[in-house]
Amino acid sequence: MNLGDHRQALLDDLSVSAGDSFFDPATDYAILDRFINRAVKAVSNLKNWQQTQGSDRQLLTIAGDETDEYWNYPENYKTDSIYYLEYNGKRYKRITWEEYLKHKRDYPNSTKKLYSDHKRQIFINPRPTASAYLEIWGHEIPATLSGSTDEHPFNNEQLLEEAIHSYALGLCYRKRGGTYRAEGKKLINDALTLAGEAFSQQRNEQAGYRTENAEMFEHTDFLETSGHPRTKRGSFDTC
């Protein structure tokens, strides 16, 4: 669904027409658009979705004479969303902020390639000493929808489309106030539940992907009672 589709879906569920005192389709598109954009960003912010993974790497220029240990996040990246970092052709391992601080304290001269992030800043150990690019991949903040044909990252994902619609509709009801506020709260909670279901499905689907070395952890079970050996992963018990 594009922005225009979401607008019409809201107007249909609100059962309003021209001149309506609640939402006038002729004049209140701007309000609906703001609610739809808030809904898209709210759903996006819940999880690091497969759909928000950056379609291209971000390159930060590192100068050899820099003395800083950290670099700022790209503006269009979600906080705490970087999942791959490479400097000068070498991949760095991500660790928690607490682990990073402990490592720096315990091993001040360490050359182990590590990185972490804190308050939208990327910390790198050891500090780069040569001019090169810092290559990072992360999750992007969805762009604001403005034109009727603009699409969000979750386009054609049924559960997430429904979550966005329910969240935006809940904002509409909350704006109306009075007895509608409770309905608005319920719709927003329903949206969060739908988004949670969608993320669980996504994780289950991703779990089916195998790493390049997955075969190392498989063996043939020659004691299978059905008479047909089967492949097992991660277990080497024979009795």
Per-residue pLDDT tens over the stretch 70-127: 888 888 899 889 999 998 889 999 999 999 999 999 999 999 999 999 989 999 998 8
Q: How far is CA 101 from CA 57, 85, 94, 95, 122, in A?
A: 27, 18, 13, 10, 13
Is a pLDDT exceeding 70 seen at residue 60?
yes
Answer yes or no: do 131 and 63 share one domain: yes
Dihedral sign, Cα of residue 164, residue 165, residue 169, residue 172: positive
| Cα–Cα dist 60/238, whole Å | 52
**Does residue 223 sit within a domain?**
no
Is a pLDDT exceeding 50 seen at residue 212?
yes
**Does residue 95 sit within a domain?**
yes
Domain count, the chain: 2
Q: What value does the mean pLDDT take over residues 29-46?
A: 93
Residue with tokens 């004049």: 27
Is a pLDDT exceeding 80 seen at residue 63?
no
Answer yes or no: do 38 and 91 share one domain: no
Q: Are 157 and 142 in contact (CB under 8 A)?
A: no
Answer yes or no: do 186 and 126 share one domain: no
Answer yes or no: do 33 and 101 share one domain: no
Answer yes or no: do 181 and 119 share one domain: no
Answer yes or no: do 158 and 42 share one domain: yes
Answer yes or no: do 62 and 125 share one domain: yes
For the ranges 42-46, 62-66, 174-178, which has the lowest average pLDDT? 62-66
The domain of 124 spans 54-137
Q: Which of 137, 166, 195 is the last residue of a domain?
A: 137
Q: Are 184 and 173 in contact (CB under 8 A)?
A: yes
* Residue scoring higher pLDDT (192 or 27): 192
User: Would you state the pLDDT for residue 66?
Assistant: 57
Average pLDDT of the chain is 83
Query: What share of the chain has pLDDT > 70, as a percent?
Result: 82
CA nearest to 111, candidates 125, 122, 99, 124: 125
Q: How far is CA 91 from CA 102, 134, 158, 205, 211, in A?
A: 21, 10, 36, 26, 17
- pTM, rounded to two decimals: 0.76
Q: How many CA atoms lie within 13 A of 118 on its CB side?
A: 13
Looking at the DSSP assignment, which residues form a beta bridge with residue 123?
A: 70, 116
**Does residue 112 sit within a domain?**
yes
